[in-house]
Amino acid sequence: MTSGISRRRFGQLAAGLAASLPLAMPSVLRAQEGDVVRMCWFNTTTVSAQIAHVLMRTDIPARNGLKMEMIQLAASPAITEALVSGAGDVGTLSDFAAVTTMAIGAPVTTVASQARFRSAVLATKKSGITSLADLKGKQVYGTFGITAFQNAQDAVLKAGLTPGKDVTFVNVGPAELADAVGAQRIDAFFSYDPFVSYFESTGAAHVISQNVTPVIVLAANNRFLQQKPDVLKRLLIANSEALFFAAQNNDLVNGWFRTLEPAKNIPEPVLQKASSYDPAWSAKSFSDIRATLSPEQIAQMEALAKWGVDAKLLPRLPDVPKFINTAIAAAADKEAAALNFDVKSVKILRA
């Protein structure tokens, strides 16, 4: 049973995600020396956020000649604005958020894959729903314009149901959705981790369909990309090293993740489960880490672009490959492979 306390925690988590922090008031933490990189990130996306904490708290940036200015923002829209305005050099975006920058012709280029996450369609405990087929005639709630929305519609279609005819999707904000799930006022909804894992952990809902292919990408302001390609390459190497450090130190970096809002309210077991859907989270060798976007990931972004236009969420269909640069990440992967990175040699600068 979901208690009132659980509903409040749902609301705290979702409200933190929904909030839009103004660019004039970011949380900025700086390293000590090297070429400056202003990196925008948000502290709710598993694995991606743990990487950010490693970059903030270890000597990995300095080892790569970098001085990080870590700008914490609420979510992809604020990061997109920072990249477009030039307030940030590099930022973490969901794959659909990156496609949105392409559709509006923003001066931003997608340069690397950073993390993978899970999206899912869930049914509430009281609903009695056990499969996608049971959604016929039902309403499915969630926030439109995100990757999880496309994943949910795709899952329904593959189950032989037609959105708008057999299933009605209802747009609702994250905080309102969390409250509705906690109070068991709805039957079904879609979301993404760590919120999927949180809803599962409380028993408020269970997954009836999931997709583990969505990706968080790194996107760069075009001026930074053109003027400082070597700095960007070193950042991508540092990012890969930070990811492998996180993979080897799950408990440590999960603790770091939970030191900042809104992640303070996410239980560690939930965080660990949510992170585990990224294969890199359990990487045993540094050679398992790759920054270069795969052809499959690029094709996935093309599919998201087509869906976005069909759903009238995008103004035009972008030529996705033209807004992606894989050359620098490929060079970073090649150079990183030759570095013989020793994760045990990393120094923690602040706990």
Q: What is the pLDDT of residues 151-208, one digit of tens each?
A: 999 999 999 999 999 999 999 999 999 999 999 999 999 999 999 999 999 999 999 9
CA 165 vs CA 88, 120, 136, 138: distances in Å: 43, 21, 9, 10
45: amino acid identity, one letter: T
CA 320 vs CA 37, 56, 98, 99, 157: distances in Å: 25, 31, 10, 7, 24
Percent of the chain with pLDDT over 90: 84
Distance CA 98, CA 104 (A): 10
Tell me how crowded residue 3 is: count the other CB atoms within 10 A of its CB: 10
Q: Give the closest residue to 210 by CA, choosing from 224, 223, 199, 196.
A: 196
Residue 115 above 70 pLDDT? Answer: yes
Distance CA 243, CA 188 (A): 34
* Segment 55-96, tens digit of pLDDT: 999 999 999 999 999 999 988 899 999 999 999 999 999 999
Angle made by CA atoms 191, 192, 198, in degrees to the nearest 5:
90
pLDDT at 120: 98
pLDDT at 351: 77
Percent of the chain with pLDDT over 70: 91
226 versus 8: which is more confidently predicted? 226
Distance CA 127, CA 263 (A): 29
Q: Where in the chain is the domain with CATH 3.40.190.10?
A: 31-116+215-345, 119-211
Give the model's confidence band at 2: pLDDT under 50 very low, under 70 low, under 90 confident, else very high.
Answer: very low
pLDDT at 4: 36
Are 46 and 253 in contact by the 8 Å Cβ rule? The answer is no
pLDDT at 33: 63
* Segment 117-142, tens digit of pLDDT: 999 999 999 999 999 999 999 999 99
May I ask the CATH class of domain 119-211? alpha beta
Pick the CATH number of 31-116+215-345 from 3.30.390.50, 3.40.50.10210, 3.30.450.70, 3.40.190.10: 3.40.190.10
Give the model's confidence band at 143: pLDDT under 50 very low, under 70 low, under 90 confident, else very high.
Answer: very high
Residue 5 above 70 pLDDT? Answer: no
Give residue for tokens 């209802």.
170
Are 182 and 11 in contact by the 8 Å Cβ rule? The answer is yes
Beta bridge partners of 122: 189, 207
What's the mean pLDDT when you consider all of the chain?
A: 91
pLDDT at 108: 98
Angle made by CA atoms 314, 143, 26, in degrees to the nearest 5:
85
Distance CA 96, CA 301 (A): 7
Per-residue pLDDT, averaged over 21-36, amounts to: 49
Are 198 and 117 in contact by the 8 Å Cβ rule? The answer is no
Residue 22 above 60 pLDDT? Answer: no
Give the model's confidence band at 31: pLDDT under 50 very low, under 70 low, under 90 confident, else very high.
Answer: very low
CA 180 and chain centroid, separation: 23
Which two three-digit tokens encode residue 351?
Answer: 């706990």
Q: Give the closest residue to 37 by CA, choosing from 243, 238, 217, 338.
A: 238
Distance CA 308, CA 302 (A): 10
* Segment 263-313, tens digit of pLDDT: 888 999 999 999 999 999 999 999 999 999 999 999 999 999 999 999 999
Are 102 and 320 in contact by the 8 Å Cβ rule? The answer is yes
pLDDT at 9: 47
CA 91 vs CA 39, 46, 48, 139, 198: distances in Å: 5, 15, 11, 34, 26
Backbone phi and psi for residue 203, each to the nearest 5 degrees, phi listed first:
80, 5
Residue 27 above 50 pLDDT? Answer: no
